Amino acid sequence: MRVLLYLTQDQQYFEFVFRTVHPGKLKENRHWYWVDSSPKGRASNIYGPFPTTLRVSDPNLFAKTIWGNAYPLMCTDTNNNGIECDHWLLPSPGPLGRGSWFAFKRERGQLFRIVNLDSTNPLMLPILGSYYIANLPTFDIGVSDTAKSRIASIKAKHATPRQKYWNPMVTQQDIQRAMASPLARARCTANDIDAVIPGFTAVRFGAGLPSWSDKTYIRGWSIGADPVPYFTRVCYIWTGDDASKQQSIFIGIGALFSPPDHPYSIRTDICLNRKGTAQPNYVWDSAGNIWKHRACIPPERSVGLPVPNWLKLGGGRIMGSIRGNPQFGLAPGETLNLIAAKSARGHGELAIFWLWFLKNGVGMLFSEGNYMNPLSHNLQVIDYNLFVRDADLTQDDFSNPCGWAMEAPPNLASAYGHFTHIAGR
């Protein structure tokens, strides 16, 4: 497996080769190599081999996947049009439901996205298993002549050993350490990056950040701790006073505790107002064809309602944009902004948020990940299938049998109160 890695902000280029050799049925040799090369393909040296636990995947990688659901990604309009995908979970060692989610384009069955809930890379998948989210807008089967040349040089033992160098390259932190003290690197240009992802531009500024309208309506699917995605619906109304509220409905959350053949018989709502949080819990009553309220769950941490410009107040920054690339569901001239934000949890824990919004303010994706407790989230990714600004919402569209919170929580002023609560902290 040959990997070309581009740093879009620093315009640095790195090349690695991962190799798994099977000398016998019960034995594997796993190594990786650092290639001193340029984006044009020329190589002056290869360093290695370096031992690793990473394993180049074989055709049986998806043999133990569990069916999740089918829903489109990259929906850019109000007609729910997007890239139709099938979503599968590949569990990792540990509680059922933790692992990696693989989305395949339904049209041709091509791998389109990987979401790794565990930052330790339990699948031992080189590079693609090291990052929280890996999007594969193109997925072609074939080996380039340059890759064949690299492998031929490695097999001929033309690599230069580095006896005192050690890095397993398993996690994203391993990769970052390697790039901070590189054995080899080269400069790359915006044109080099555009050749990999057409329409991509690296930026870094806080201007032009999106905000929610005073009446925002969202539908989509969320990935969390359960072996099914949650159907998600959000109603948000901002009046500037105590009539402001948000109701988030998650159908399927808690599926581990529902009948196996009815994973969507459990529903939990997150009801926010300016004073705090309430969490009604429901079970589906098939006889009455209604959601039956079962309990009011005390929230782990009560938070207040976010203001419409919560992203700006939280210090979010646009880190890159993609324009007119149909592999991301974009029409000609349509721009997708990739936005990053962070929040310190205390005790050295840092949460990283990525949000994808079209330039016109329509949301497409919300995600959170962290290094210290990667499996602590109840919710990690929300894909918006429908995002309506200035929606036709009234107070009659909200319901909460547990009653709206009456006492303001101590962290009401936090711009990340919304993030903290959505992540189930």
Which residues lie below 8 Å from residue 418, measured CB to CB, with a gap of 6+? Answer: 272, 303, 305, 306, 310
Domains of the chain: 2-56+140-192 (no CATH), 66-135 (no CATH), 197-425 (2.50.20)
**Mean pLDDT across the stretch 86-102?**
81
In eight-state DSSP terms, residue 253 is T
| Residue 261 vs residues 13, 229, 266, 286, 290: alpha-carbon distances, Å | 48, 15, 12, 13, 18
> E strands of 92-163, at which residues?
99-105, 111-116, 133-135
The rounded distance, in Å, linking the Cα atoms of 73 and 385 is 7
The rounded distance, in Å, linking the Cα atoms of 122 and 124 is 5
- Whether 126 has a pLDDT exceeding 50, the answer reads yes
Q: State pLDDT tens for residues 153-168.
A: 999 999 999 989 999 9
- Whether 399 has a pLDDT exceeding 70, the answer reads yes
- Whether 234 has a pLDDT exceeding 80, the answer reads yes
Residue 209 is predicted with a pLDDT of 95
**Closest Cα partner for 296 from 421, 401, 407?**
401
- Whether 414 has a pLDDT exceeding 50, the answer reads no
Q: Which of 6-10, 138-142, 285-289 has the lowest mean pLDDT?
A: 138-142
Q: Which of 55-69, 277-291, 345-359 has the lowest mean pLDDT?
A: 345-359
- Whether 84 has a pLDDT exceeding 70, the answer reads yes
Rounded to two decimals, what is the model's pTM?
0.91
Confidence bin at 299 (pLDDT 50/70/90): confident
Residue 421 is predicted with a pLDDT of 43
Confidence bin at 405 (pLDDT 50/70/90): confident
Q: Note whether 313 and 307 are within 8 A (CB).
A: yes
In the beta sheet, which residues pair with residue 83?
73
Confidence bin at 97 (pLDDT 50/70/90): low
Residue 409 is predicted with a pLDDT of 53
- Whether 210 has a pLDDT exceeding 50, the answer reads yes
- Using DSSP's 3-state secondary structure scheme, residue 268 falls into strand
**Mean pLDDT across the stretch 238-263?**
88
**Mean pLDDT across the stretch 304-328?**
92
Residue 420 is predicted with a pLDDT of 42
Q: DSSP of 84-141, one letter per residue?
A: EEEEEEEE-SSSTT-EEEEEEETTT--EEEEEES-TT-TT--TTTTTSSEEE-S----
Q: Note whether 322 and 197 are within 8 A (CB).
A: yes
- Identify how many contiguous H helices and E strands the chain contains and give both numbers: 5, 23
Residue 375 is predicted with a pLDDT of 64
